[in-house]
Amino acid sequence: MQTIENISNLRSEIYLWRQQGLKIAFVPTMGNLHQGHIALVEQAKMRADKVVASIFVNPMQFGANEDIDNYPRTMAADQEKLLAAGCDLLFTPTPAIIYPKGLDKQSYVEVPNVSVGYCGESRPGHFRGVATVVCKLFNIVQPDIACFGLKDYQQVQVIQTMVEDLSMPIEIIPIETIREASGLALSSRNNYLSADEKKIAPALSQNIQWLAQAIQSNRDFISLAKQAASNIDKAGMRTDYIHICHARTLQPANADDKALVILAAAHCGKARLIDNLRVNLS
């Protein structure tokens, strides 16, 4: 596996692959990799000839009250995991490479509608930062396909919408969430959980599962979501939001909708955890 920091060197390598007619998959990350990330690389490897991963802690998607300096950076361990998973090239740009003019003078990408609400409300400017950096990385790597984890469901919808709206010739491959035995979705943020908080945290996924069952026979979505939020709070977490939405538009679901997604976020100690579950009603 090659590790490249420079954009021109990366493009030169990819040009050689293109000359050979090879299909290229891309897995963008912020590092501190866990098995959920590795599953993306493994799925990418099954779908393409060459896999490019990136590790870039993107300052544009961090809010004023979010400490980017404390975001865990584990490059050596990440490289070992990527190598074992069959990654062919790792791109590790610096902020100066991605944003040479600085954030204040950087053009940005704004994706309407699906960026609004939920994590978009809790983290203002977050999805602008996500869409901008992913657009830049897509333009640098120019992959045929890109793999994203469905744990960040709203993010996947933002990226899918951006690709469609900007006519990017890239297929977005959503990959199912990898979970611990307790049901807790794997996340870099789980590293912030104490031993006691790790026991509490599965209440988020448990109540999403409860809600998925409840809406099969009860279309009072708002009341059921409030009950799930109360259950999460009683377990010792602090609910940020829990909503039942249309699976594609992310608008609040109505009683006639069939393809739904439950979106949820909650604070557990220092960690803000997100999770979701898609539900098809008959």
Report the alpha-carbon distance of residue 135 to residue 140 in Å, rounded: 9
Q: How far is CA 103 from CA 44, 59, 94, 100, 129, in A?
A: 31, 8, 13, 8, 10
From 34, 37, 126, 267, active-site residue: 37
Burial class (CB in 10 A: 0-12, 13-18, 19+), 151: buried
Spell out the alpha helix ranges (H) of the chain: 7-19, 35-47, 75-85, 95-98, 119-122, 126-141, 153-165, 195-200, 203-214, 221-234
Nearest Cα residue to 221 out of 263, 189, 165: 263
Mark whether 37 is an active-site residue.
yes
Contact 145/9 with Cβ under 8 angstroms? Answer: no
**Which residues, in sequence order, are CB contacts of 127 under 8 Å at separation 6+?**
61, 111, 115, 119, 120, 154, 155, 158
Report the alpha-carbon distance of residue 86 to residue 88 in Å, rounded: 6
Phi, psi of 82 (to 5 degrees): -65, -40
Report the alpha-carbon distance of residue 271 to residue 191 in Å, rounded: 8
Report the alpha-carbon distance of residue 124 to residue 33 in Å, rounded: 25
- What the block records as the tokens of 190 is 């789980």
Contact 25/50 with Cβ under 8 angstroms? Answer: yes
Active centre residues (catalytic) = 37
